[in-house]
A and B are shown apart, each in its own frame.
Chain A
Amino acid sequence: MIVVIAVTKIIVEMIKRFRSWLANYRHFLLSWYTKDSQATQEPEKSLVELPSELREKLVNRVQNLPDHPTEKEAIVSALNENFTRWCDNPNNTNNSIVILSSPVATASRILTKTLQQWSEEKQIKIELLEITARPTNIETIKSKLEHYIQPKALEDDSEKEELEILVIPNLSWCFLRSLEGLAGIEYVQSLLCDGSKNRFWIIGAGQVGWQYLNLICNIEAYCGRVLTLPKIESEQLQEWFEPIIEEFDIVFDDPSFEQKFLDKDKDNKTKYFDRLAGISQGVSIIAIQIFLGSIGYKKIDDNEDKDDTNESSQPESKQPIAKMPSLPGLPPLEPDDQFILYSLILHGDLTISALAESLGDEQSEVQARVQILRRQGVIEQKDKVLKINPIHYPALKQELANNNFIIHRE
């Protein structure tokens, strides 16, 4: 009997160890899988099946969703706490708060909107940095910052000056990974600890750019608190999409066999949003793209039509259906592509000239690779600004981390 118990214990322990090994080495196993996938899926492929009018309406509706309340709440709560602390004891060790977001999220927009509401509620005037994009001439970043942010009076004279809350919506616009491109950050660092008691800083930044600045100039040491926007959970995503689901009367497809088996108690909708939250890593912009990619009409086979009654089959064929969400495969990437994509993730957005400068390469060389990546759907271009397609970000992050790039793994 004792032997049986001991053997059972050993087996249980072995299973536990195997599971933990699998968890630890899944990156290795997955990296192999992701390298091998050849097919590139278009993010909105399934929407082609919808009538164009309905498709347009759905895309418009989804893209005009209000910012997710979780992100707003996190910003406001951290702001209240840190601002009050600073008001009670103003000094240059707690005079700033940094809000970090995913490199593919438009944190500057969320931050600006949230801060407008916050300042109205608190009756406090905020100064928004008037740089809304990275200057074309990188050498002018510092002079522009000097123009818009001037040093405050030192501690002795500070009582005469008015309180100022300065907002840098996107720190990425204040630097470029190049020899001349870091002067702006040096200037901001010098102001953050200049001894003034009358200026509170609110800074928005991308996680990867922040990680880079931390490694090269230890920027976190100059800032009071760093808040990373929380991940949006499954239920929160469900609530957020609910008005659209109701408006378009979307039904949820049956999940795969293993998901049916694993989560027996959950309905299709809950399973859908669990998976959506997981693969989007709780980032709203990625979740939106995946959601759009998963909606289509269910195809009804002729045989099925014959078998079913007309009453049951006809309405189903007209109803939008959400398939289990999935991420598209990443196309095979050359080492040069990895450098380009990492640079875009690091800076959030870049023009082609800034991208070439950040890589230290000729613009013509970079342009050729960018064209290929755009065709593959990995890079998006709006006006002259290049960005990573958010739907590819989770896989790309994994790929770059596997290849020794400095990027935080999930």
Chain B
Amino acid sequence: MNMTTYLLAQSATNAAQETAEQTKELVSKITTGKVAQGIFILLTAYLIIKILDRVVIWLSEKIAKEWRLRVKQFLPFLRMLVLTTTIVVLMNLFLNLSKENILAVTGTVAVALGFAFKDYASSIIAGIVGIFESPYGVGDRVKIGEHYGEVISYGLRSISIQTPDDNIITIPHNKMWTEAISNANTGALEAQVVTKFYFAHDVDISLVKKILYRVAQTSKYTALKLPIVVVMAEKPWGTMFKLKCYPLDARDEFVYQTDLITRAKIAFAKHQLVYPAISAIEQE
């Protein structure tokens, strides 16, 4: 029993010594030239990513609208490709990638990341998962938590969304694990716009519905190949109508809604349709 314990302790000491030797050997091989090469590779990768970002975004805005999102959503793949290549080249440069080295380095990196950069690693992993699961892509209009806007970039750790007020918000990918993500267009050029209208209970329902359908059908922004629907809901203070339709380009969402409301209100005024009393709403 004592002998077995002694042998196990001896072999553990040997293994530790061996790893220490290997690490010493690896560190001793890192020369100033290699460090310079590494910096050069990092800079090149950074430049390539920046150029790719600009070229892909520029190209997607120049070509036909129907191709815009497809081109934009290719960007995360390109970025991932460049990053993976850079990491492999750097590891090969510094760590002499043999089977044993890969195992040793992967284990060390995993433990280090697990403790020190838990959230960062989680975001990166979520970003990689996101490329394949596609809960959002560049050009999509998404709502994550409180924030709504167009995804304008898909980074390694986070996405940037541009809100209707022209603010840029950065949201880490790991929100994907916990938050509900609402995507309005999922890669399509059109996204549904829901416009609400409120009337008194005794309003002429068929007239309101006809006006709302006509308003959508005659708007220059409407994508007529997609359905136009009017739905109603009853409230204590009146009747709510929801006009659901799609603009030709999701980017026109707010200007489209304004156009619908403007023209609908002109028609409502012409037909003297009665809105709900404000006091009733306030009481509620």
Contact = CB atoms under 8 A, between A and B. Distances in A.
B211 interface: yes
Contacts of B248: 403-405
A69 interface: no
A179 interface: yes
Interface in B197-242: 211, 214-215, 217-220, 223-225
A339 to B, nearest CB: 5
A179 B190 CA distance: 23
Contacts of A403: 64-66, 248
A80 B215 CA distance: 40
Interface stretch (B49-57, B97-105, B259-267): B259-267
Interface string A359-372: 11000000000000
B63 interface: yes
A179 B64 contact: no
B130 to A, nearest CB: 27
Contacts of A399: 64
Given A360-B263, A405-B248, A406-B225, A31 B218 contact: no
A269 interface: no
Interface string B250-269: 00000000010011001100
A216 B220 contact: no
Residue among A335, A360, A406 having the largest count of chain B Cβ atoms under 10 Å: A360
Interface string B60-89: 001111110000000000000000000000
B63 A216 contact: no
A216 B259 CA distance: 18
Interface residues of B, number: 25
B220 A404 contact: no
A63 B266 CA distance: 45
A392 B263 CA distance: 32
A404 B218 contact: no
A182 B64 contact: no
B239 to A, nearest CB: 21
B67 A28 contact: yes
A179 B225 contact: no
Contact of A179 (B63, B66, B218, B249): B218
Nearest to A34: B64
Contacts of B62: 32, 35-36
Contact of B66 (A177, A216, A358, A402): A402
B66 A181 contact: no
Given A28-B63, A403-B248, A216 B223 contact: no
Contacts of A36: 62
Contact of B262 (A177, A343, A360, A404): A360
A399 B63 CA distance: 10
A386 to B, nearest CB: 16
A197 to B, nearest CB: 31
B224 A31 contact: no
Interface in A36-60: 36
Interface in A353-410: 358-360, 399, 402-406
B189 interface: yes
Interface string A209-231: 00010011000000000000000
Given A177-B218, A179-B263, A404 B65 contact: yes
Contacts of A158: none
A68 interface: no
Contact of B224 (A335, A339, A359, A406): A406
Nearest to B215: A179
A212 B215 CA distance: 14
A28 B218 CA distance: 29
B65 A402 contact: yes
Given A31-B63, A32-B63, A215 B220 contact: no
Contacts of B259: 360
Contacts of B266: 179
Interface string A147-185: 000000000000000000000000000000111011000
A402 B211 contact: no
A27 interface: yes
Contacts of B189: 404
Contacts of B224: 212, 215-216, 406
A404 B214 contact: no
Contacts of B190: 404
Nearest to A211: B224
Nearest to B228: A216
A21 to B, nearest CB: 15
B63 A360 contact: no
A359 B220 contact: yes
A404 B263 contact: no
Most A CB contacts (10 A, CB to CB) among B64, B65, B215, B219 go to: B64
A182 B217 CA distance: 10
A342 B220 CA distance: 9
B220 to A, nearest CB: 5
A215 B218 contact: no
Contacts of A28: 63-64, 67
A254 B167 CA distance: 58
In the complex, which of the residues A178, A343, A403 has the most CB atoms of chain B within 10 Å of its own CB atom? A403
Contacts of A342: 220
A178 B263 CA distance: 9
Given A28-B64, A360-B218, A404-B66, 19 more contacts: A27-B64, A28-B67, A31-B64, A32-B62, A35-B63, A35-B64, A177-B218, A178-B218, A179-B214, A216-B217, A339-B220, A359-B220, A360-B259, A402-B64, A402-B65, A402-B66, A404-B65, A404-B189, A404-B223
10 contacts: A27-B64, A31-B63, A31-B64, A179-B214, A358-B218, A360-B263, A402-B64, A402-B65, A403-B66, A404-B223
Q: Which A-B residue pairs are the 6 nearest by beta carbons?
A: A402-B64, A31-B64, A216-B217, A215-B224, A403-B65, A404-B248
Interface of A: 27-28, 31-32, 35-36, 177-179, 181-182, 212, 215-216, 335, 339, 342-343, 358-360, 399, 402-406
